[in-house]
Structure 1
Amino acid sequence: MVSPTQHPPSGIKVIIVGAGFGGITAAIECHNKGHDVLLLEAFPELKILGDVISLGPNAGRIIERWGGGSVARELHPITHNNKELVMHRFDGPVVTRTPVTGLVFGSPAFNGHRGELHRCFFAFAQQQGIKIRLGARVVEYFEDADKAGVVLENGERLEADVVVGADGVKSQARALVLGYDDKPRSSGYAIWRTWFTTEELAKDPLTKFFSEGDTHNGWIGPDVHFLAATLKNGRDVSWVCTHTDEKDIEESYSFPGKIEDVLKVVGDWDPVVVKLVKMTPEENMVDWKLVYRDPLPTWISKGARICILGDAAHPFLPTSIQGASQAMEDGVVLACTLFCAGKSRVPLGVRAYERIRYERCRRAQLMGETVRDKWHKADFDNLMSSEDNMRAMDLPHPPWLFWHDAEKHALDVFPQVAKDIEAGKFGTEDIGLQTGVLRRDENGTVVVGNRDFEQPTGEELVQGLVKEQLTAEL
């Protein structure tokens, strides 16, 4: 049942809005399950944009199944093939060395240039014969009892059995699903990010090592962390610096980055960091504001014929290193639940998708928040005083996250999830309220509610992450 070459036609017509990693994965997986797919993308042409993106082993498991492994083989030479992540204190001393996951979790991770990886995904979707329309900007979503659809900017009206909003953090579909416009707010952080060749770095003794092979180094300091990676055997370098930022994010999340601003934050750090920043072409830098949204009460419309996935449903912090991976899992699970439900029960398939994905995504989101806080709020004066203190700074590799097979899990649990939904076991409240992740305060406002779900935090969670890392290595 898992990942056949191609299922027979299911009769289910799916419109997917947004051709990012989540949208393309949903299109490929829905096509694989026999659904009739139309993928809409607002941009008129595909451009190789962006910088580094990380796809964990849980996403690698999905990619390995595409084209009999052909997509994975295509990605390998253009992705990061380092041996370890070396974490430093901000002034230079090595805190910890974390071996890369490799095949510890049964599948590879793929970390590389966002645009280059996206081009491979897009080309594979085209090879599969998936209908893709570029320059198709959606301005309206609608649904009734037996169908859903979109209206394009040119006035064209398109209908399907289900519409998937994979349209990112500024999602229009989310407003229809929620019944109100959910405004983003600043997370209190932003990242400077860039990507360029190591040609000039190779000429300086301090930075020459970046050009001598694939490397991954991080530096952590008070409310700041800096990660630098080289790939393609040291030919390209990417670095990101997460820092505090309270600027307004209503109009735009992305601005040109300035070297002088970065140096105000890390100018007295390890000389390697300072030199790397100074040698960065400023025209390649972006200042990206990290927006935050509280967990949504639901990801599906009242009629359960429209749903959202990926950043539209659950934006992730970069420290989770799971945003794209979880979006890909969303696409896989939705394809499976629609397949299992069948054309006559499409709303059941959509509801099962939300039920299967909601709490797992929230748990992964929380890990990102915890990693950021443990790096930014560490006791830097005593960081080097014990093995436990240093080991706690490892980037976690929890088995529950990386061993997960989204397709197999969805197929395994669907019968019981569907039975419970049809029996009304989960009530009529939106899923965030059903699970206790959210609650309503005395004014009826939805707020993050179940502190038991949010726990453990602080030192208890850090120690738990250390134990999970040790378990993974065993």
Structure 2
Amino acid sequence: MKKTVIDGVQRYPTNGLKVLVIGAGTSGMQTALECWRKGCEVEIIEKADELSPIGDYFTITPSAQTTLKDYPSMYVQYHNRVYDCILSVFAPGGDCIGYEVVEWNRSNDGHASPDVKISFLNRRPEYAQMQLDQLKRLAIPVHFSQKASSMSEVDNRVIVETETGKKFSGDICIAADGLGTVFRRREEPIRSDVMDSGYSIARCAFPTSHIKPDTPAWKLVETVKEQPEFRIYLADDLHLILYLTADYVGIALTHPDDTGADESWSNLRDPAVLIKVLEKSAATWDPAVVSFMKQVPVKVVDWKLKWRDVNPSWTSASGRILAVGDAAHSFLPTSGNGVTQAIEDALSIGECLRLGGRENAAWATKVHNKLRFERTSVLQLMGFVNRDEIHKADLSAIKKAGKSLDVGFFRLGRWTWNHNPEKYATDNFDACLAHLRDEKPFQNTNLPPGHVYKPWTLQEENERMAKGIQSDLKQNGDWSV
């Protein structure tokens, strides 16, 4: 099998498939890269005028970086900006509960991407720019200022029309356009199933130089001169994350959605909202934290944490249209897996389309859906479980125990980050296709060993938490490191 090489990227032979990707976010751009590398012709349709510079930090675990080595230029660009950070937990008043290295670095057996330096901190705008730079080097078209308004299927082709009246045609269309995706509007035109989770997250990032040396906040900056830190303050029914690096700092404050945000999904708000949220809590906050909040020089994006109940169907009936990332499965930030699972989708669908080829392209999307659904569903549920754990954590007990932090996203489990989604698709494509097409037996193995999958809903989770019942999710199968 002869491959061509462009910008150091080895591309599989052209398979004759044209793939349209809606959305130039992290999920959409990685999907385009993976489909192109596997031999597809690809175009991206993006509603924004340009790549947004807005954003703070996100976590990408090893399972989503298994193909980074296949993009040599991007690999170098990534490692030029990687943050080797420590994780820490603090009480609101400033008492340190404990420090920890990231879970995959505590394992003696390594992880799914041993050739990549994995960090708990990645700056969102920089990562997106890295992906866009790679798309440009590979000459993959990105059509900005084109908001997809409809998609239709005609004679085994998918037609995407934008609000400007422009039409794009392809064999497969992949919707990577987030929670309000045009895919769900097409598949479920009557039902509106986007719900509020009951919480919001206020986020921002800015240069560390905005923190003045003569203020209490400076001690937070001083602590990270040698090593960046992912610091989380746990309080009753809210938590505050400070992303602390030598050049950039960020804030993510998850709180009950009662601060006056309107019905839109996000609001650019005055940074004073951060102080107001802290003041509403029963805790007494470290003056350094309050000082830090007062020096925020930018508007805060206060995201309403919306939720769409788990839906096992990510494709159109024909299989010609597929949703990925948040368009298929929304995540709470406390899962520590939203971006990771979006990129895992990209790695999986690229390989499925390669294996299916033009003849079985429509089946390939359904195989991908079957291979991925239960895994993402369990990790979606983990977001609720993690939030419950950290919002009700017994800090004194954790500190007294003096052992590894074992709450929330500090405990993910080897099954999450030692998974290789591309290889999983390679190994399971034929068996899964036979299951879907010929009703042959098939069982996913990309879950915690021994896990028995159980469907669930937001209503059920809210009722569980309201009754104070602890979830048994992390006792269902092997969640160990």
- Count of residue pairs brought into register by the alignment: 444
Q: Confirm or deny: 8 A CA contact 2:216 2:288 kept in the other structure.
A: yes
Structure 1 gaps of 5+ residues are 428-434, 440-445, 452-456
The separation in 2 between residues aligned to 1:390 and 1:121, in whole angstroms, is 33
Partner deviation per Cα, 1:8-41 (whole Å, 9 max, x = no partner):
1101111111111111111000000101111111
Q: CA deviation at 1:242?
A: 0.4
Q: CA deviation at 1:460?
A: 4.6
The separation in 1 between residues aligned to 2:233 and 2:456, in whole angstroms, is 35
The within-5 A match list for 1:57-456 is 57-66=62-71, 68=72, 70-82=73-85, 84-101=86-103, 104-105=110-111, 106=114, 107-110=116-119, 111-144=121-154, 146-178=156-188, 180-204=190-214, 206-212=216-222, 213=225, 214-231=228-245, 234-246=246-258, 251-267=263-279, 268-281=284-297, 283-379=298-394, 382=397, 384-387=399-402, 391-392=406-407, 395-425=410-440, 437=455
- Larger helix fraction of residues: 1
Distance verdict in 2 for CA 1:57–1:206, change over 3 Å:
farther
The separation in 2 between residues aligned to 1:170 and 1:226, in whole angstroms, is 27
Partner deviation per Cα, 1:78-126 (whole Å, 9 max, x = no partner):
34222x2110122222222111356542243342221121011011011
Q: Confirm or deny: 8 A CA contact 2:393 2:407 kept in the other structure.
A: no
Q: SS in structure 1 opposite 2:80?
A: helix
Q: What value does the CA root-mean-square deviation take over the aligned residues?
A: 3.0
Distance verdict in 2 for CA 1:249–1:33, change over 3 Å:
farther
Q: CA deviation at 1:410?
A: 0.6
Distance verdict in 2 for CA 1:102–1:384, change over 3 Å:
closer
Amino acid at match of 1:165: A
Amino acid at match of 2:50: E
Distance verdict in 2 for CA 1:97–1:380, change over 3 Å:
closer
TM-score between the two structures when normalised by the length of structure 1? 0.85
Aligned partner of 1:39 in structure 2 is: 44
Q: SS in structure 1 opposite 2:216?
A: coil
The separation in 1 between residues aligned to 2:163 and 2:171, in whole angstroms, is 21
Distance verdict in 2 for CA 1:123–1:240, change over 3 Å:
same
Partner deviation per Cα, 1:263-285 (whole Å, 9 max, x = no partner):
2332421222212112212x332
Q: SS in structure 2 opposite 1:203?
A: coil
Aligned partner of 2:59 in structure 1 is: 54
Distance verdict in 2 for CA 1:46–1:260, change over 3 Å:
closer
The separation in 1 between residues aligned to 2:379 and 2:471, in whole angstroms, is 18
Report % sequence identity.
27
Partner deviation per Cα, 1:174-208 (whole Å, 9 max, x = no partner):
22234544331111110111111222425036333
My pick for the range that moved more, 126-135 or 355-364, is 126-135
Q: CA deviation at 1:261?
A: 3.1
The separation in 1 between residues aligned to 2:339 and 2:388, in whole angstroms, is 21
Amino acid at match of 1:147: R
Distance verdict in 2 for CA 1:409–1:253, change over 3 Å:
same
The separation in 1 between residues aligned to 2:333 and 2:216, in whole angstroms, is 27
Q: SS in structure 1 opposite 2:129?
A: helix
Structure 2 gaps of 5+ residues are 443-452, 464-468
The separation in 2 between residues aligned to 1:200 and 1:335, in whole angstroms, is 42
Q: SS in structure 2 opposite 1:78?
A: coil
Partner deviation per Cα, 1:140-198 (whole Å, 9 max, x = no partner):
11114522221122323322111111111111112223454433111111011111122
Distance verdict in 2 for CA 1:148–1:462, change over 3 Å:
closer
Partner deviation per Cα, 1:295-350 (whole Å, 9 max, x = no partner):
12411111111111101111111111211111111111111111111111111101
